[in-house]
A and B are shown apart, each in its own frame.
Chain A
Amino acid sequence: DIQMTQSPSSLSASVGDRVTITCRASRGISNFLAWYQQKPGKVPKLLLSAASTLQSGVPSRFSGSGSGTDFTLTISSLQPEDVATYYCQKYNSDPLTFGPGTKVDIK
Chain B
Amino acid sequence: QVHLVQSGAEVKKPGASVKVSCKASGYIFTNYGFSWVRQAPGQGLEWMGWISAYNGNTNSEPKLQGRITLTTDSSTSTAYMELRGLRSDDTAVYYCARASGLIADYWGQGTLVTVSS
Q: Is the CB of A91 within 8 A of B62?
A: no
Residues of B within 8 A of A66 (CB): none
Which residue in chain B gives the minimum CB-CB distance to A95?
Answer: B61
Q: Given A36-B45, A43-B95, A101-B45, A96–B102 Cβ distance below 8 Å?
A: yes
Residues of A bordering B, CB below 8 Å: 1, 32, 34, 36, 38, 43-46, 49, 55, 85, 87, 89, 91, 94-101
Q: Which of B91-112 contact A (CB under 8 A)?
A: 95, 97, 101-110
Ranked nearest first, the 4 interchain pairs of A and B with the lowest CB-CB distance are A94-B59, A91-B102, A98-B45, A96-B47
B82 CB within 8 Å of chain A: no
Question: What is the total number of residues of chain B having a CB less than 8 Å from a CB of chain A?
Answer: 23
Of B50, B62, B101, B107, which is within 8 A of A44 by CB? B107
In the complex, how many residue pairs between chain A and chain B have their CB atoms under 8 Å apart? 58
- 1/0 per position for B64-78, CB-CB distance to A under 8 A? 000000000000000
Q: Is the CB of A91 within 8 A of B103?
A: yes
Residues of B within 8 A of A43 (CB): 95, 107-110
Which residue in chain B gives the minimum CB-CB distance to A33?
Answer: B103
Residues of A within 8 A of B62 (CB): 1, 95
Question: What are some 9 contacts across the A-B interface (CB < 8 A)?
Answer: A43-B107, A45-B107, A49-B105, A91-B101, A91-B102, A95-B47, A95-B61, A96-B47, A101-B44
Residues of A within 8 A of B107 (CB): 43-45
Q: Is the CB of B104 within 8 A of A34?
A: yes
